[in-house]
Amino acid sequence: MTLMLASVLSRAEAEIAVARGADIIDCKDPSRGALGALALAEVAEIVEVVDGRRPVSAVVELPHDVSHARQAIEDAAALGVEFVKFALPVTPDAREIIDELAPLATRARLVAVLFADLSPDLDILPSLARAGFAGAMLDTAHKGKGRLLDYMNIGELSAFVGKCHELGLEAGLAGGLEAPDAPRLLVTKPDVLGFRGALCRGQNRRDTLDAQAVSLIRDLIPGTGAPGNRTPAAQPKPVDADHVFVRDLVLPVAIGAYGHEHGHTQRVRFNVDVEVARVAGPDDMRGVFSYDVVMDAIKMILASGHVELVETMAERLAASILPHERVRAVTVQIEKLDVAPGAVGVRIRRERPPETANARHLPPGLGGAHDPISKS
pLDDT digits (tens, 9 = 90+) for 15-67: 999 999 999 999 999 999 888 999 999 999 999 999 999 999 999 988 777 88
Task: For 170-201, write each residue's pLDDT tens digit.
Answer: 999 999 999 989 988 988 899 999 999 999 99
Calculate the alpha carbon distances from 337 to 81, 105, 191, 255, 369 in Å. Answer: 56, 54, 39, 12, 41
Tell me the three-class secondary structure of 167-217, residue by residue: CCCEEEECCCCCCCHHHHHHCCCCCEEEECHHHEHHHCCCCCECHHHHHHH
Angle at 93 between CA 90 and CA 98, to 5 degrees: 90
Strands 109-115 and 83-87 turn out to be: parallel
Decide if pLDDT at 12 tops 70: yes
Q: Which of 28, 143, 189, 336 is catalytic?
A: 28
335 Cβ neighbours under 8 A, 6+ residues apart = 268, 269, 271, 310, 343, 344, 345
Query: Which sign does the torsion angle of CA 119, 192, 360, 212 carry?
Result: negative
Beta-bridged to residue 137, according to DSSP, are 113, 172
The chain-wide mean pLDDT, for the chain, equals 86
Among 113, 309, 269, smallest CA distance to 192 is for: 113
Catalytic (active site) residue 189: no
Q: pLDDT digit string (tens) for 195-223? A: 999 999 998 998 999 999 999 999 889 76
Topology of domain 238-351, per CATH? GTP Cyclohydrolase I, domain 2 (3.30.1130)
Domain ranges of the chain: 3-220, 238-351
pLDDT at 33: 85
Q: Give the model confidence (pLDDT) of 227-259 as tens digits.
A: 444 444 445 555 678 899 999 999 999 999 888
d(CA 103, CA 319): 43
pLDDT at 365 over 90: no
Question: In this model, does residue 132 exceed pLDDT 90?
Answer: yes
Instruction: Give CA–CA dist 50/274, Å, rounded.
Output: 42
Could you give the CA distance from residue 56 to residue 297 in angstroms, rounded to a whole number? Answer: 33
Note the pLDDT of residue 144: 78
Q: Cβ–Cβ contacts within 10 Å for residue 72, how many?
A: 19
For residue 372, what pLDDT is reported? 45
For residue 142, the tally of other CB atoms under 10 A from its CB is 14
Read off the pLDDT band of 361 (50, 70, 90): very low
CA 347 to chain centre: 31
pLDDT of residue 250: 96
79 pLDDT higher than 70: yes
The arithmetic mean of pLDDT across residues 134-142, rounded, is 95
**Res 355: pLDDT:** 56
Q: Give residue 289's pLDDT.
A: 82
Residue 157's nearest CA partner among 185, 199, 194 is 185
Query: Exposed, middle or buried, 364 (CB in 10 Å: 0-12/13-18/19+)?
Result: exposed
Q: In the CATH scheme, what is the code of domain 3-220?
A: 3.20.20.70
**What confidence tier does 326 reach under pLDDT thresholds 50, 70, 90?**
confident
Per-residue pLDDT at 64: 73
Answer for the pair 6, 26: CB distance below 8 angstroms, yes or no.
yes
Task: Choose among 137, 92, 89, 79: nearest CA to 110.
Answer: 137
143 included as an active-site residue = no
- Asked if the domains 3-220 and 238-351 are classified in one and the same CATH topology, the answer is no
Phi, psi of 305 (to 5 degrees): 115, -170
pLDDT per residue over 307-322, tens digit each?
Answer: 999 999 999 999 989 8
Range among 98-107, 191-200, 296-305 rated most confident:
191-200
Query: Mean of the pLDDT values across residues 95-118?
Result: 93
What pLDDT is stored for residue 351 in this prediction?
93
pTM: 0.77
What pLDDT sits at residue 68? Answer: 84
